[in-house]
Amino acid sequence: MTRKERFTHVINWFQENAESSETELHYGNNFQLLIAVILSAQCTDKRVNQITPALFEAFPTPEVLAASSPDEVFEYIKSCSYPNNKAKNLVGMAKRLVDNFNSEIPSTLDELLTIPGVGRKTANVILSVAFDLPAMAVDTHVFRVSNRIGLTDNSKSPLETERELVKHIPEELLSRAHHWLILHGRYVCIARKPKCDICGLKNWCKYYQKEIAGRHGQG
């Protein structure tokens, strides 16, 4: 099977079977989305969604957050991973929005990358979710699933994975495909023991064909 054929089968399957292609983070506007995505680094969406209601209420605008201190923010986010760094980044992010972007979330990759706490993955999430632009954010789930299925060929970095996916997935599907892969990795193609028995992609999955079917003489 060629790489192109594998992509075609996988995309078709997701289009027919994926129930959701939206972020599981809860937010009401782009500012809240940016806060939630920064908090979600190495932290579950479930945990972030428990933290953000009180945080959003206390810091409803970039101006209010920019005028606060990391110590104040820390009290609201201390149950998530790396709360000290994230508290500093959230205040720094708000100050950058107020000082450089008229308190609005910018809509270009280069501008987003100037904001504290925003790396390439976070920036691509914002472009995709907030602005519906063709961007592919690669987190640990997307990286793992892409390599495992064979959409990428033993990619060594998130950027390498991103470039391969962008090359082979139609532009108009990129935003949805980002969520397809994340949710598939979160609930089916999990890190330690993928649930191959319930996976609809196994007919086109390199891992399944080699590790499961091949081992049982089905390949």
Q: What is the pLDDT of residues 169-186, one digit of tens each?
A: 999 999 899 999 999 999
Look at residue 117 in the predicted model and tell me its pLDDT: 95
Contact 207, 148 (CB under 8 A): yes
Which residue in the list 121, 156, 202, 210 is annotated as catalytic? 121
Task: Kindly state whether residues 97 and 43 are assigned to the same domain.
Answer: yes
Q: What is the mean pLDDT of the chain?
A: 93
Phi and psi for 164 in degrees, rounded to 5?
Answer: -65, -45
Tokens of 100: 């450089």
Task: Kindly state whether residues 55 and 71 are assigned to the same domain.
Answer: yes
Q: Would you state the torsion angle of the CA atoms of residues 183, 123, 136, 120, taken in this order, to the nearest 10 degrees?
A: -100
Last-in-domain residue among 73, 104, 131:
131
121 is catalytic: yes
Look at residue 218 in the predicted model and tell me its pLDDT: 55
Q: Specify the range with the lowest mean pLDDT, choosing from 82-86, 150-154, 206-210, 214-218.
A: 214-218
Which residue in the list 46, 95, 139, 156 is annotated as catalytic? 139
User: What's the pLDDT band for 11 if we cut at 50, 70, 90?
Assistant: very high
Tokens of 194: 């993928």
Q: Is residue 151 part of a domain?
A: yes
CB atoms within 10 A of CB 203: 13
DSSP H or E segment with residue 91: helix 83-100
CA distance 35 to 37: 6
Tokens of 98: 């107020």
CA distance 142 to 120: 14
Angstrom distances, CA of residue 20 to CA of 9, 16, 56, 63, 198: 18, 11, 25, 34, 17
How far is the first Cα of the chain from the last one, in angstroms, to the nearest whole number?
A: 13
Task: Kindly state whether residues 48 and 115 are assigned to the same domain.
Answer: yes
Task: Kindly state whether residues 84 and 112 are assigned to the same domain.
Answer: yes
Give the tens place of pLDDT for each residue, 80-128: 999 999 999 999 999 999 999 999 999 999 999 999 999 999 999 999 9
Last-in-domain residue among 84, 116, 131:
131
43 in a known ligand binding site: no
Q: Of 72, 116, 123, 74, which is closest to residue 95 (Cα–Cα)? A: 116
80 in a known ligand binding site: no
Task: Kindly state whether residues 118 and 96 are assigned to the same domain.
Answer: yes
Look at residue 65 in the predicted model and tell me its pLDDT: 98
Domain that residue 12 falls in: 3-21+136-213
Q: Is residue 218 part of a domain?
A: no
Domain count, the chain: 2
CA distance 54 to 47: 13
Phi and psi for 117 in degrees, rounded to 5?
Answer: 85, 0
Task: Kindly state whether residues 94 and 16 are assigned to the same domain.
Answer: no
Which CATH number do you get for residue 46?
1.10.340.30
* C-alpha neighbours within 13 Å on the C-beta side of residue 193: 1
Any idea what DSSP says for residue 102?
T
Task: Give the dihedral sign, CA 10/41/80/117.
Answer: negative
Task: Kindly state whether residues 34 and 127 are assigned to the same domain.
Answer: yes
210 is catalytic: no
Q: Is residue 194 part of a domain?
A: yes
Task: Kindly state whether residues 190 and 143 are assigned to the same domain.
Answer: yes
